[in-house]
């Protein structure tokens, strides 16, 4: 199993803090951007396989994260 990046860990921690799931986040990203995003794609972002700027920006905004990906 792949390891989460530091950014992925920040996202997971924030989801736990606000009591939401990755499925919820994927839905929020789809709603905000109009782009495809499901839990599998979100996982690829969290482990560093993908780094789509518009989706990462939406995640940061939704979760109120101040940092960029590595």
15-58 pLDDT tens trace? 999 999 999 999 999 999 999 999 999 999 999 999 999 999 99
28 burial type by CB count under 10 A (0-12 exposed, 13-18 middle, 19+ buried)? middle
Q: What is the pTM of this model?
A: 0.88
Task: Locate the domains of the chain by residue range.
Answer: 6-63
**Among positive and negative, which fits the CA dihedral 1, 30, 11, 23?**
negative
Q: Which helix (H) or strand (E) holds 49?
A: none
Phi (first) and psi of residue 10, to 5 degrees? -60, -40
- The tokens of 67 are what? 């940092």
């Amino acid at each position: 199993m792949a390891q989460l990046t530091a950014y992925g860990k920040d996202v997971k921690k924030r989801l736990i803090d606000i009591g939401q799931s990755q499925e919820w986040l994927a839905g929020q990203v789809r709603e905000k951007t109009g782009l495809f995003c499901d839990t599998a794609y979100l996982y690829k972002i969290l482990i560093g396989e993908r780094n789509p700027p518009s989706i990462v920006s939406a995640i940061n905004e939704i979760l109120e994260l101040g940092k960029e990906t590595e």
